[in-house]
Chains A and B, each alone.
Chain A
Amino acid sequence: MVRTDRRGQPLMVRGQAIEAVRESWLVQDRWWTEHPLSRRYWELVSIAGADLVVFHDLHGGGWFIQR
């Protein structure tokens, strides 16, 4: 679903090439629970002009689309 460069920055999301990264942020929380949260979020602009928010689950692996 998401293809990235060597540093983990998304290059393509669902086949759409990424034009620009608007923002990237990190959420690390609930580490004291059975379900710790560790996600790297990316707000992206696709080549088609769509604004996308995806995150990489740094614990379980895998990419997810938020918006």
Chain B
Amino acid sequence: MAYSELHAHSAYSFLDGASMPDELVAAAAEHGYRSLALTDHNSLSGSMEFAQAARAQGLRAIHGAEVDLANGRHIVLLVRDARGWSNLCRLLTLAHAHDRDVPSGTPPPTAVSLEQVREHADGLVCLTGCATRGVHDETTIRRLRDTFGPEALRVELQRPFLRDDRMRNRRLQRLAGRLGLACVATGNVHAHAASRAELQDALVAVRHHLTLEASEPLRRGNHSHVLASPAAMAQRFSDRPEAVAETARLADELCFDLGQDLGYRYPGAEDQTAMGRLAELCHTRLSERYPGPSPLASQAQTRLEQELRVIDHLGLGGFFLLHHDLLVLAREVALEVRGPDSARALLPPGRGRGSSVSSIVCYLTGLSHIDPIANDLLLGRFLNEELTALPDIDLDFPRDIREVLIPRIHERYGRERSALVAAFPTYRSRGAIRELGQALGLPPGDIERVARGADDFGVDVRRDIETALGADPAGPVAASLSDGAAPRPGRSRRWQWLVTLAAQARGLPRHLSQHPGGMIVSTRPLIECCPVIPAAMEGRQIAQWDKDSCSDAGFLKIDVLGLGMLSAVERCVETIAHTRRERIDLSRIPFDDPATFSAIQQADTVGVFQIESRAQMQSLRRTRPESLDDITVQVAIVRPGPIQGGAINPYIQRRQRLRENPDYPIPYPHPSLEPVLRDTLGTIIFQDQVLEVAQAFAGFSPGEAESLRRAMSRRRSAAAIERHRQRFEEGAQQHSGVDGPRAQEVWRMIEGFAGFGFPKAHSAAFGLLAYQSTWLRVHYGPEFLAALLNEQPMGFYPPDSLLHEASRRGLALGRVDVNASELECSVQSDPAAPDGLRVRIGLGYIGGIRRQEVEALVDARREGGPFVSTADLASRSGMSRPGLERLAWSGACDALPGGRSGVNGARRAAVWELGVAGAGAPGGSPGARSTQLSLGLDVPSAPALRELDRWERLVADYASTGVTVDDHALTILRPHLPGVLRASELEHHPHGMPVSVAGIAVARQRPATARGVVFLLIEDETGTVNIVVGPELYERERRLVRAEPLLVVSGRLERPAAGGGTISVLAQTLRAVALPTRSSAQVHELAQRSPDVEAQASDLRAVAPPAQSFAAGRRR
């Protein structure tokens, strides 16, 4: 009997579905279904993915959603036609409208009223919902019948194998008969196969923050919610064959195809005057940008005409004008945010990135800051006549401008017509281990150990458990590890399930989040094309589709990205104006500054944009960039494409040869490639060179070349790549007259590159910022450091490491101080400092104190002068007792005059005194506000307290601020590390020598291109050392590598002659540094007063600043 499943959930029901849409589609096709409905819970997030997968499998996709009603019941709404789709989108938008209304702490449930359903019923078919939470009362079903009519309402029968199935279905069938409604059978599917049924159970537990045991009443009780075959469903409903037959009849009526035109148009898409206006704008700017007759002006004129022709051909005039309008809006916002008199006012509101930087139209309309003619940037990758999708224009903004700009875009285009693009964070190893481990009731400590040691991108959770717990998770040893006592058999099965469930959960979307910057604007209300929901950040809203779904729907995505380094350089410029009364226009700084290039060539680049990483530094010493063009290449070089394509070593070697012999002839695989690969010395480093090589060498058209690039980069279809290879090799033989082996050699260069690289235009844009940030660092070190510290998180190095490095460079640093620090880090005049300037850590760096409290303290100091004692501080600052204790423990009160201040005992004394002075709310929770003393009453002197030693102060610094500006941990530990070399000593030892080094882990990287090798960067009191950990050692010592903050590494010194001074240690053994033991009655006394103090008194492992991890991704 024909059966169509009309009620199925995917993982896009977020923790209420255990399969992806394509898995459901594949299973349905295998079972012989002709159609399938996806009805995720209050969501259409998976609908486009479902439509695409179904089309590929020849299955008819039916779209719908399970929707919550205000009375707590569920209905299923299925889309009959385009009107129904827009109504469902509107309804779901309404359902989520109050998701972020949290005046009372709990938002109202996501739901729509029956009245709202009635207003949007057109084009929809309603099913009465599931067995447990569907609409089963006659009154409501009558209202639904009045709304949808009997032809568009079905009473839904389910057989979830619960105890009341027959009674419920009999009752519903009688009710349907009375109301003249047809019944329809559904499976309420939550998994595509029986193997995922347990995961569905576990996800329910995760959703409710419960264990599996505790979530029993909320789970389904059995595994009948798995997609069954039509025959099995007919069997399940053998007593109600008409309800089964009705599924197929109804499915045939639901003809809406999501592939059809949804009516989306971006503003200006159909504006007939757009092209003329764009051309006029560009021509006006052309004469400003390229004044007078010159070869450059002539080239620019030709290029502009060429681009305008392509834009006209593609009908994209409105597209560019829309982006230009956005930039005008950004300019207004920037003026507001920066203020008219700010030094930042000289800077443009944002900058272009990506391939659009190659466009002269973008340059002239302000969408790019890079001159494509002077920089020899080719257009093809961004815009060509064969383009079938909308091109991408990405814009970077300082974070503060972007924050205001996004809601302003909503206002400009209308809240119904604009939204951010969604992103769906997916389960990776660590999250899956933590959440599923909790659901399984595993010991929290063990879960955390396993999670911390896990490779987040890895797939072998069994191995993670073995590594963390030291044994086979299925074995009795692992079972006993949790308790350190006798084996407990009950545990081992749970660990086994964790292995299975974590592997299954991997890649499933967990929740809906916000894309880093993608925005959609529309002429038609967007909420009729896709549901739009409020974002966590006030004033923002998100479409339920991610960038791929938006792209498949033909939506124009505008990328409004936040770039931390842009914010940092703007802050820096502003601070320089204050500290030195100099106004800096970064577009007019010298771009051939010897001091800046000297720093770059010596890899003295910690903290600057792009060229600061461990790998970049190693490369810089060998490539020794001498111009902005060289930096453009440098920015692109440490990318998977050039690495896998084998471009790096040839490029570096050829640069070195050229330095030695300027007449060195660069080898090219074929003369036709010389113009294409000249800038990169015969290697492929830029993404667009793939296109250019294909065109110059194999005669590809621009569209064919772009198709090749896409095949390689986006969805690596083996069949598509093979077609391109054949075409390339044949083309090379015909076009360039080469033989097969030579054609294959060039193909291998392209194939190795595989598209994962920067376009040259993007590199030029980023290279410029890399240079500008280096220039600021070289000439305005204190201001640049303060800017970096205030824009965290960003970059490769944690703040603590930035401070240590700055200290080694001779910059003067100041610790947090209630009488000197501002909220943020600041640059202060200090005649004693080398530059006359000192970077002062801001009070905002102290964890656990609310920003408002710190602001109030700073205001009180401004109004009433410096605090003269702890009692004065407690009285005037308005800070709660926990806040005061944190201030004291961070050392911010060390320099308070009077009493015992100024000596090492000051910190303990201040904690004691402030505990007394701020005693209004004893034991108050962090953030709790106590009643303050209104008068600066004297507080009793602290009893004789033992001084904090250097190590204790270090631990207290890390525990309170995450940074220290005093002793480096290794300075203190050095006497305990006999035979261990300092980083600065390594350059005096020969290549290949066995050495031992120690340091605090600053960064860990495990690049996919490195075949299991892990790169560690450790830091001691003299500098950083690169540690190379081979795959075997990594597997053996994974916990140390991944989680240990202080390491001793023994291995072989790598200092090859060709390395340009690059030094690393190839690790052979690793061990944790033995930390000084801490025990003191007075410490325990303090510990009793505040849990945080207890943490501070424990060892460094608990408080060490986390190393930057490759798996965590880098923020720019």
Interface residue ranges, A against B (CB under 8 Å): 22-29, 31-34, 41, 43
Contact = CB atoms under 8 A, between A and B. Distances in A.
Interface of B: 161-167, 197-198, 201-202, 212, 216, 219, 221-224, 440, 489-490, 493-494, 497
A38 B705 CA distance: 58
Contacts of A43: 163
A33 B493 contact: yes
Given A32-B198, A32-B440, A27 B493 contact: no
A23 B161 CA distance: 9
Contacts of A22: 166
Contact of A28 (B165, B222, B440, B494): B222
Contacts of B166: 22-23
Contact of B161 (A24, A29, A32, A33): A24
B212 to A, nearest CB: 6
Contact of A26 (B216, B219, B224, B497): B224
A34 B163 contact: no
Contacts of A27: 221-222
B493 A34 contact: yes
Given A23-B163, A23-B166, A29 B493 contact: no
A33 B224 CA distance: 20
B854 to A, nearest CB: 47
B497 A32 contact: yes
A34 B490 contact: yes
A52 to B, nearest CB: 14
A61 B162 CA distance: 21
Given A23-B163, A23-B166, A28 B493 contact: no
Contacts of A34: 489-490, 493
Contacts of B493: 32-34
A23 B202 CA distance: 28
A31 B165 CA distance: 23
Given A31-B198, A32-B212, A26 B161 contact: yes
Contacts of A23: 163-167
B490 A28 contact: no
A24 B39 CA distance: 27
A24 B201 CA distance: 21
A45 B221 CA distance: 24
B575 to A, nearest CB: 56
8 contacts: A23-B165, A28-B222, A29-B221, A31-B201, A32-B212, A32-B494, A34-B490, A41-B163
A33 to B, nearest CB: 6
A16 to B, nearest CB: 21
A31 B219 CA distance: 13
Nearest to B219: A29
A15 to B, nearest CB: 26
Nearest to B224: A26
Contacts of B162: 25
B161 A25 contact: yes
Contact of A25 (B163, B198, B490, B497): B163
Nearest to B223: A28
Q: Which are the 6 A-B pairs with shortest beta-carbon distances?
A: A26-B161, A26-B222, A28-B222, A25-B163, A32-B497, A28-B223
A40 to B, nearest CB: 8
A25 B440 CA distance: 25
B165 A25 contact: yes
A59 to B, nearest CB: 13
A67 to B, nearest CB: 13
B963 to A, nearest CB: 43
A18 to B, nearest CB: 16
Contacts of B221: 26-29
Nearest to B201: A31
B169 to A, nearest CB: 11
A22 B164 CA distance: 10
A33 B493 CA distance: 6
Given A25-B161, A28-B221, A41-B163, 17 more contacts: A22-B166, A23-B163, A23-B166, A23-B167, A24-B161, A25-B162, A25-B163, A25-B165, A26-B161, A26-B222, A26-B223, A26-B224, A27-B222, A28-B222, A29-B222, A32-B198, A34-B489
A49 B202 CA distance: 41
A31 B490 CA distance: 12
A28 B161 CA distance: 10
Nearest to B491: A34
A22 B167 CA distance: 9
A2 to B, nearest CB: 19
A61 to B, nearest CB: 18
Contacts of A29: 216, 219, 221-222
Contacts of A33: 490, 493-494
A26 B219 CA distance: 13
A33 B162 CA distance: 22
Contacts of A32: 198, 202, 212, 440, 493-494, 497
Contacts of B216: 29
Contacts of B202: 32
A31 B200 CA distance: 12
Contacts of A25: 161-163, 165, 222
A32 B161 CA distance: 21
B217 to A, nearest CB: 11
Interface centre among B163, B201, B489 (most CB of A within 10 A): B163
Nearest to B197: A28
Contacts of B198: 31-32
A27 B497 CA distance: 19
Contacts of B163: 23, 25, 41, 43
A49 to B, nearest CB: 19
A7 B223 CA distance: 18
Contacts of B494: 32-33
A25 B167 CA distance: 12
A28 B220 CA distance: 9
A34 B495 CA distance: 12
Contacts of B490: 33-34
A47 to B, nearest CB: 20
A34 B440 CA distance: 13
Contacts of B222: 25-29
Nearest to A28: B222
B687 to A, nearest CB: 47
A29 B223 CA distance: 9
A29 B165 CA distance: 19
A9 to B, nearest CB: 12
Interface centre among A22, A25, A31 (most CB of B within 10 A): A25
A43 B163 CA distance: 9
B216 to A, nearest CB: 7
A25 B224 CA distance: 10
A43 B212 CA distance: 27
Contacts of B165: 23, 25
Contacts of B167: 23
A28 to B, nearest CB: 4
Nearest to A53: B163
A26 B494 CA distance: 23
Nearest to B235: A7
A28 B202 CA distance: 13
Contacts of A26: 161, 221-224
A44 to B, nearest CB: 13
A27 B224 CA distance: 10
Contacts of B197: 28
Contacts of B224: 26
A27 B164 CA distance: 13
A63 B586 CA distance: 83
B131 to A, nearest CB: 12
Nearest to A41: B163
Contacts of A28: 197, 221-223
A32 B500 CA distance: 11
Nearest to B198: A31
A63 to B, nearest CB: 18
B739 to A, nearest CB: 63
B801 to A, nearest CB: 43
A28 B438 CA distance: 21
A25 B131 CA distance: 14
